[in-house]
Amino acid sequence: MIRLGAIAAILLALGGFFAWWMTQGNSDANAPFLGYVEGETLYIGPNEGERLAAVFVSAGSVVKAGDPLFTMATPLLDRSRAEAAARIGQLEAQVQNLEAATSRPEQVAVLQAALERAEASLTFSRNDYQRQRTLYQKGDVAKAALDRAEMALKRDEAAVKEARRQVEAARIPGRSQEIEAAQAALNQARAQLQAIDIRVARQSVHAPAAGAVQDVFFRPGEVVNAGQPVIALLPPGNRKVRFYVPEPRLAQLRLGARVRVTCDGCSDDLYGRISFIASRQEYTPPVIFSDVERAKLVFKAEARLEGKARELPLGMPVSVTPLPENAEASK
């Protein structure tokens, strides 16, 4: 009887151990994965180095896409823009001067009046020459008088030719090559002005997406180099959970699958979708505060947070549980 009792006690103990082992195994198979909340922060800086003129947000501010974040001083760009604008005005006047055949009507009118005066003088000189020639042939005047009349006639003929050519020159437009060169220079100056305007506009930086300002690294009056971050912005869609999966349970995950996220003091309706699964094993990092988990070789995975889960603070320790496909479809 004693032997039978001992055997029964041993069997009972073995049964209890087997039941505990099965329960512990099922518990490990369904245990949540440990992880923490991370964010992909946008570090926003100026395109060109200058002195910071103004900052319109502070750490903790929530902004919408397109809201102003900060602006840089633009003294050198403003001076370059004024110079480019003056250059455009000069080139526009030059092109108009070359293109217009009668761009100076007053000047042409003066030259036309001078031509008419020269023609009148020529008519008088021609008549006087004919008269002096007739008198000379009759012997009424000396040869010197005829010579003076002939010289006056030739002088007035030359004056008429000169005045006529001046009027024609004033009405001739510039040569096509000169006009094309001046127009090309004008287009180049306009392009330079547009480039300067773009550079000035870029010195006023706006939010590329909606999100929360995590930090402000500079204050007005400080000099910021090109590309150096002034604002750290975290869009809600850039929040994610990073967690670690043991190799035996890796088959439970698939990209795009929905997971439940739980944490101390959080609501029960927090979810995300798996967006990354590592292809190589690694040791659980020290940030996972569990003596059991830290000794395991695991695969890193990430899930993009959805809905209210995007409000979880960065660094928050969380637990991640994969949802069954039928439960996922019902959500």
Tens of pLDDT, residue by residue over 128-177, are 888 888 888 888 778 888 788 888 888 888 888 888 888 877 766 656 67
CA atoms of 139 and 46, how far apart (whole Å): 99
- Domain locations in the chain? 31-40+236-330, 79-198
Q: Give 15's pLDDT tier (boundaries 50, 70, 90).
A: very low
Asked if residue 50 lies in contact with residue 72, where contact means CB atoms within 8 angstroms, the answer is: yes
Question: 31-40+236-330, superfamily in CATH?
Answer: Efflux pump adaptor protein, beta barrel domain (2.40.30.170)
Work out the mean pLDDT of the chain and round it to a whole number: 82
SS3 of 97, please? helix
Report helix, strand or coil for 219.
Answer: coil
When pLDDT is cut at 50, 70 and 90, the band that residue 101 belongs to is: low
Cα–Cα dist 235/147, whole Å = 102
Q: What percent of the chain has pLDDT over 90?
A: 34
DSSP string, 18-82: HHHHHHHHHHHHHPPEEEEEEE--EEE--SS-EEEEEE---TT-EE-TT-EEEEE--HHHHHHHH
Crossing angle for the helix pair 176-202 and 75-99, nearest 10 degrees? 160
Residue 257 has pLDDT above 80, yes or no: yes
pLDDT recorded at residue 25: 42
Place of tokens 């944490």: 263
Q: Are 36 and 241 contacting, i.e. CB atoms less than 8 angstroms apart?
A: yes
Instruction: Please name the helix (run of DSSP H) or strand (run of DSSP E) that holds residue 135, with its range, or none.
Output: helix 105-138
Higher local confidence (pLDDT), 190 or 149: 190
Give the position of tokens 């002939």: 150
Alpha carbon 141 to chain centroid distance? Answer: 92
322, 300, 92, 66: which is closest to 206 by C-alpha? 66
> 60-99: per-residue pLDDT in tens?
899 999 999 999 999 999 999 999 999 999 988 888 877 7
Copy the structure tokens of residue 116: 């008419």
- Kindly indicate the confidence band of residue 6, based on its pLDDT and cuts at 50, 70 and 90: very low
